[in-house]
Structure 1
Amino acid sequence: MKLAEVELLMQKAVEATQRSFNTIRTGRASTSLLDRVMVDYYGSPTPLKTLANINTPDASTITIQPFDRSSVNAIEKAISLSDIGLTPNNDGSMIRLNVPPLTTERRKEFVKLASKYAEEGKVSVRNIRRDAVDSVRKQEKAGDLPEDEARDLQDKIQKLTDKYIAKVEDLLAEKEKDITTV
């Protein structure tokens, strides 16, 4: 496994963590809250953003304008069943979501959720490190890599790991700040 591959995999793990953070409410309306919502559209699960135009006209409202009016009820049902905790208001052609301000209790829950997502991201980065180090050790054992080069590669892999774990922690600190700021 090449160092560039390892870095790319770690970068993808950090990006996945960022996408997870984007689904956590911060008290402001954001279209990314609906990124994980899947709608049962003609029998197949379809991402909401491919079925409708999603906007935030103000800081506390999200509007969803379906491309196909017959899908309004399916979209409303999918939002109700999702874990975003918002109640959809359907006027027949458009769905509105009012994003209420967060209570202190709810903010604490969201900080815990963000910490959980960050830990998953760190575990993912560490798993990539483990696989890369195992690959280096196998090459060393097979005689394809001298011992000093293998140690050097393992050190570089560890430095990459530290760098990307620090990035996840920075993202977590930023998200916690967003959540706790009223």
Structure 2
Amino acid sequence: MTLKDSYIAHEERMKRALDALRKELASLRAGRATPALLDKIMVDYYGTPTPVNQVANVAVPEPRMITIQPWEKSLLAPLEKAILKSDLGLTPNSDGTIIRLSIPQLTQERRTELVKVIHKKAEDARVAIRNIRRDANDAIKKIEKEKAASEDETKKAQEDMQKLTDKYIKEVDQIMAVKEKEIMEV
């Protein structure tokens, strides 16, 4: 493995850590209806845990309403049960063919809780990125030990890895700030 290969591989891992953070934050309820809220909810479909969007049409007809129309009527009860068991804190209303979820306005207390959750998830992403940097530096030292790169090249590679780490941590902070602003706006 060359220094360049190592850099590319570790940058890819950092991008994935950032994508994971975006996905995590998308599933947080911000007082607005979005199909992403249901991404983590699994429904029992013939004995197999299946994501809601694979067994039903999920739509957002209004800013504070999500409708779920199961492809099979037999899935209505399991869908309702899965939503009630989830940590969304939403109560499904069913008319026998379609489930409606009303998204209530967030209380100030709930907003504060969500901001804490956002900060924790952002910190987890920063830690993941720093761990990737550590792995990259270990790989760089290994390349140097194998005499595949000079001391100057490895020093430069470590500096580049630090710049990359700083860049991705800054992106984590930006993502966190945007989500925090979204949660706190009334």
Same fold (TM > 0.5): yes
Deviations 1:76-130 (A, max 9, x none): 1111111111111121111110100000000000101111111111111111111
- Counterpart CA distance in 2 for 1:47 and 1:96 is 17
- Counterpart CA distance in 2 for 1:3 and 1:37 is 36
**1:39-50 to 2 correspondences below 5 Å:** 39-50=43-54
Counterpart selection for 2:24 from 17, 20, 27: 20
Cα deviation for residue 30 of structure 1 reads 1.0
* CA RMSD between the two structures: 0.9
TM-score (norm 2): 0.95
Which structure 1 residue ranges, 4+ long, deviate > 6 Å from structure 2?
none
**1:102-113 to 2 correspondences below 5 Å:** 102-113=106-117
- Counterpart CA distance in 1 for 2:79 and 2:94 is 10
The one-letter code of the counterpart of 2:16 is: K
Aligned pairs, how many? 182
- Counterpart CA distance in 1 for 2:42 and 2:135 is 33
- Counterpart CA distance in 2 for 1:162 and 1:86 is 38
> 1:91 maps to which residue?
95
Would you say 1:166 and 2:147 are equivalent positions? no
Deviations 1:38-80 (A, max 9, x none): 1111111111111111011111110000111111111111111
Cα deviation for residue 142 of structure 1 reads 2.2
TM-score (norm 1): 0.97
**Runs (5+) with no aligned partner, structure 2:** none
Q: Tell me the percent identity.
A: 48
> 2:145 maps to which residue?
141
Cα deviation for residue 4 of structure 1 reads 1.5
* SS of residue in 1 equivalent to 2:148: coil
- Counterpart CA distance in 2 for 1:168 and 1:131 is 19
